[in-house]
Each structure stands twice: as C-alpha cells, then as structure tokens.
Chains A and B, each alone.
Chain A
Amino acid sequence: MVSLSADRLSQRREGVDPSGAIFAVISVSLAILVLLPLFWLTYYSLSGPQGQFTFANFWTLFTDPTLRRPFVISIGMALGVGALSCIIATPLAWLVARTDMPGRSLIRALVTASFVTPPFLGAIAWEILAAPNSGIINQIYRSIFDLPPYETLVDIYTLEGLIFAISCYTFPLVFTLVANAFERVPGDLEDASAILGGTQAATLRRITWPLVLPAMIAGALIAILQALTMFGSPAILALPAGFHVITTKIWSLFQFPPKPGLAAAAAFPLLAITIVLLWAQSRILGRRGYAVIGGKSGPPRLTRLGGWRWAGFGFAVLVLSLTVILPYGALLKTAFTKSVSEPMSWSNLTLHNFRFVFFEFSATQLAMRNTFVLGFAAATVVTTIALAVAYLASRKSIRGAWALGYLATIPIAIPGIVLGVGLFLSYSTAPFMLYGTLWILLIAFVTIEMPAAYQQLSTALTGMNPELEEASRILGATRTDTLRRITAPILRTSVIATWCLVFIGTIRELSATILLTTANTKIVSVIIYDLNESGDLGAISVLGIVLLAVCFAVVFLANRLPGGGSRLTAAR
C-alpha cells in the first residue's frame, strides 16, 4: 500500500514516470530479439526452394539417415556428459562443502577456472594431450612401459573421449548447484538423525542425500543441455573420428550449396528437447522448497575424514589436473615449443608461435579488437537491460511487468547454433541487413546472455527488502533517483558479477558466432576454430593463452573492485 500511494504521489507531482516508457521500449526490443529469429526459422523450415509451402524439409529430416544418426549420437553423448559430470562433481562438491579436506577454497577457485575455460579450447588442449599417437599422455605411457608405437592408453577421438572432454567443462555447473545444496542442508536435521542413533553413513544416505539429489539432477540436466547444444568440442573431436553430432550437422548444411530450409528444420527438434529439459529442471528445482520446513537451522556439520582427508584431496587434485592443470600445461608447452610431439627441451624452445600470432598473422589484431569491443558492449547492454527488467518485474510497479521476466528468460531455450541460424536468416537480407557488421554479433550475444544475467540480478533484487526504496520514495526522491542512489549501490556486487559473467560468456561463445562472422567481423574464438581446421596448434595455443589471461584478469579485477563480484564463483 505504501508503495502504491508513493507511486501516485510522485506521479501527481512530476507528471510522467519514465518506467512506463522504459517498459515499452524493453518489451518491444526483447520481443524482436527473440521472436524475429524464431519466425524466420519457422518460415524457412516450411519453405521449399522456390519459397512455396512444404513439409519436405521435415520429411527429409526424418527419412535421411545422415540426418537421423547425428540426433541419436547427440542424445547419447549428452546423457553421457550428464552422468559423468555428476560422477565428477558430486563427490567433489561434498568434499569441498562438508568435509575438513585441506585446500578447499583453493579447489573451489580452480573449479571456477575450469568454468572460465572455453570448452573448444579445452577440447584442443585434450587433442594435444590424448591424441592416440602424438598425445603427450600416450607418449609418456609408452615410454614408461617401454611399449612399441601405436600402443595407446587413451584416445580422445572417440565418443567416450568427446564425452570426457565436454564433461571437463560442464561439471562446474553441477558442482556449484550441489555444493550449494550441501551447504544448505540444515545441520539440526542431521544432528537429529545422529542423536536417534543413525550412523554417519545412514545420515548421509537418508537425510543429506535426498535433500541434495534434486540439485544434482537439475545440474545434470543443465550439463546435458550444454552438451547437446555445444558446437566447438564435437567439431574438434567428433569429425576426426568420422561422425557428426546434430550441431556440426546443422553447421555443415550451410556449406555450399547451402540448405537453410533443412538447417532450420533440423533446429526444431533441438529446440523441443531443450524446452523439455528446462521444464524438467524447473519442476525439480521448484520442489526444492520441501527441504527446509520451519525454524532456523544451524550450519551444516563438517565431516571429519581423518586419514581419508588426503585421499579426498588426491581425488580433488586428480579432477583439477584433468580439467585445468594438464590442459593449461599442454597449451603452454605447445605455445613455447616447435613441435607438439617433442619433449620440452632448451633446443626445442621457441617464441616463433608468439611472433607469428602477434606480428605475422594478419587476422590477430582485428579479431582481438572485435572480441573486446563486443565483450564490453554485450556485457554493458545485457547488464543494463537485465537490471531494468529485473527491477520492473520484481517491484511489480507496472501492470504486466512479470511478462518481461519471461521474455528475458525465453532465449535460454534457444540453443546457440539454432539462434545463429535464426539470426542469419533474419539479418542477412533486407530490411534488416546486419550480417557483415558487429551488430549481428552483439544481438546474438545479448540474446544468449540475457537469461543468465536476468536470473542473477532478479535473485539479487528479490533478496533485497523494498522498504529501503519505499523510504526513499516517501522522502520525495523520484523512482530514477531511488534506483540510482539506493538500489544500485546495494546491488553493486551482483551487477559487477553479472557484467563479468556476460563478458566471459561472450568470449567463450562459438556455436552462434561461427555462422555469423565475416572476414571483417571475426572474433578470437572463430579464428581459433579456423586455425584448428588447418592444424596450426602452436598459434592456437598462443591465442588461447591470451584469451584465458584476459578472462582471468577480468575476474581478478572484478574481485578487487570495492564490493566487487565475490559471488562470481557461484555464477550459473
């Protein structure tokens, strides 16, 4: 009631409240962002070569085995990634959240590092490590056991290898959710179980586990979704093994002669699966509420592992070696040596790759500039819009504001490659000719990053008591003033964290970008992918290291800002 009367008061006094106009502008732009690509996808999928209405594209999709097979493989691969992510993440999350294992905060920080790593870069690093013959791991294996050539310990160019390489960079999603769930388990419930004579194992099984399970399943669904819609890693690892997944297949449909209708049709099953998975995830997370009923609970108890502490630590080190330490080491070694397969030695050491990337390779400078321009622009635009939407939606000061929240969340259901196809179809012809400019990439990034940014900021706003703002309004401040002087400073941490999240997300993006760049609008992820197609691993390693260094610098700086983004670790 207070806020309502304050509203009236202010309107009476200054005439117009800008939130109405902002609301209109934002809802129209969000609708265009989301609906235009979907419209063109539908249109092309139902059009024949002469533009006539037809179901031929969908018919081909179901009858052509070279199109059906990638779907089956993709689903198998994604389920594998979901399972493996849980197997890696759940024990690690328990160790970090609920035991006295040494080095827990460092381990958490390193899990963040594997989140920041672009998956395609991880896949390339794993090629260097685990290619069957030249891979560093296989070479060491052969030399330790004195085995003949072609004896192989691991082969990354297989479906299993692909599942592993993707899981290395999706498990942080499960880890974050599960670790948070472990921390939220009320200590007194577990105490009660212990007092009633339950052993530690029984408590874990009957109290803790049921409370954590939904988080794990929700995390697994997100990991599955990521794997299903990922382009880079499968393109790098599956094509050499001689199979397509659905994203690489859709992309190959753009090769000459392009089949945009078929590509659009192939996007729909992917869209449908995504929506089902997200629906399942929200159902599972939505039921989480039953966990904590009534009263305030004590903090969760840490399990004392005794001698097992070091076993747990060993497990954590193993996981982080596979996801961060070895891949980064492989990139560093490749960047500084002449040949990938030779061991490190003084005679093999070279700065040639750095010289090539920075002084000879003419694409570097432009791509770096484009990447940072886009990263900064996308992060700023997304954070601004998401903040406005979250504010309008959570404060419910305008009728229909809740719908904005939904609009901002829809893109989460559109896989990157599908969005890429949709945007290409929307903006490569008149009247909206944006292909060939950075604008189309900015639109892609804004659309892709909006849901996560909105969720992050809306969680922060929901947790903030509106009384503070109401006090400001009652004291005569306008809504805009209040937003600037009360709401914004309190939200600062979340805003900075969101900005970083979007910036890093932009730098990691490849699935949509791969279809949308031209010679003058290339970004670093795309030139890394181009170089991979011609096998120039040295140059890739240098560019990858630069990319990672920038990402970590951004995270570091954000953490150093006063009230900076300390919550980034828990992001997404």
Chain B
Amino acid sequence: MPELDAVDQQIIDKLQGDFPLCERPYAAAAERLGIGEDELLARLQRLLDARVLTRFGPMVQIERMGGAFVLAALAAPEARYDEVTALVNALPQVAHNYRREHALNMWFVLATETPQGIAEAISRIERDTGLPVFAFPKEKEYFVEMKLAARI
C-alpha cells in the first residue's frame, strides 16, 4: 500500500466532492486544507501516479442523460481468466470490472449513452468470449454514497 501522510489523507477525505467552481479551484481547495496551490497540484499528481486516486474530476450519472448503467457478470474458466479479462476490458463501455470469489467470478459495469447500447455490449462480450453474460440492471436504488475516508 502506498505511503500516505496526514495531508494526503486530508486531500482524499475532503476532496471527494464539492471541488470549487472558480477561476483557481486548486488554490481555493488548497487554502481549505491549509497548504499551497502548488503543493496540492503536486500531491494530486503523485496520488494519481501511485494509483491511490483513479481519477480526479466530475462523476457523471449517465442515466440522467438518457443512458444506461448496468451491472453484469460472467463465469470465466480459470485457465482463460486473463484472456477473458482482456476481451471484456477492451470495450470502452466497461466502466469498471472486478474479480470476485464466486462461480460468477467477473463482475463489471456497463455504461452506455443509450439503453440499447447495453444489449449491444453484452452481445459483443458473449461473441468475443463465447461465455454467457448475466445482466443485473438495477430495478430500484435504495442508497448510493461511495465516499470512503482514508483509513491508514
């Protein structure tokens, strides 16, 4: 696990939302954290390079613009796991993908600009991998709040 100091932790905890919309937003955010603009920029770049952050920017809800976001899974044979991973990840519609311990051992999220894009992506994955894909579209959202504090 990368070494994170107290300032890194503050950056991770305080900057998961509400990034300022002003001319110099990093300077404004840095001031709230008690550091300088240059230091914040350097630390963000380092956190991104170390893959502590996967991204820094807007998180788009594609459903609000008429698109679709669907959880899907497949059972990849162990001997083909890396090959199947590469085939699935090659699709830009795959926003994230996780290996999980289950007969259904690959779980990924498809995000497309149109609802029919989901079916197209699923057929493409089924064709490329030769494996059936199970789709689990959400029927109801009870709660979503993915803001985890750094616990180092």
Same complex origin of A and B: no
